[in-house]
Amino acid sequence: MKANRNPLDIIKYIMDAVVIFFGGKVVPISIEEKTFKKGMNPIPFMKDSFDEPGGGKTILSDMQFMKNLKEYAKDSINDETMELLEPYLNS
């Protein structure tokens, strides 16, 4: 992941959910063209926050990312976090 300078849109989209879990901020929901598979035609989809400050790229560059992910307190996920994830779950 760290070596991939421009990951597929699906990876960027998944990293938005990870950003939410870690308490980061994502960009307001807006629509742009996305490609989820190589060779696939772009489709209208939500804009990702991957390149934004504090976004997925920042989290992936953290040397403790895997450790933090493994040790994430999944029992601490509250209703507010689930509400923030709702647009990602219903896409």
Pick the more confident residue, 83 or 38.
Answer: 83
Token pair in block for residue 58: 């920042």
Identify the pLDDT of residue 1: 55
Q: State residue 48 phi and psi, 5-degree precision.
A: -95, 170
In this predicted structure, the answer to whether residue 24 has a pLDDT above a threshold of 70 is yes
31: which strand partners?
46
Using alpha carbons, list the distances in angstroms from residue 11 to 2, 73, 88.
12, 22, 13
In this predicted structure, the answer to whether residue 11 has a pLDDT above a threshold of 90 is no
Quick check: 82 and 24 in contact, CB under 8 A? Answer: no
In a 3-state reduction of DSSP, which class is residue 45?
Answer: strand
Quick check: 16 and 7 in contact, CB under 8 A? Answer: no
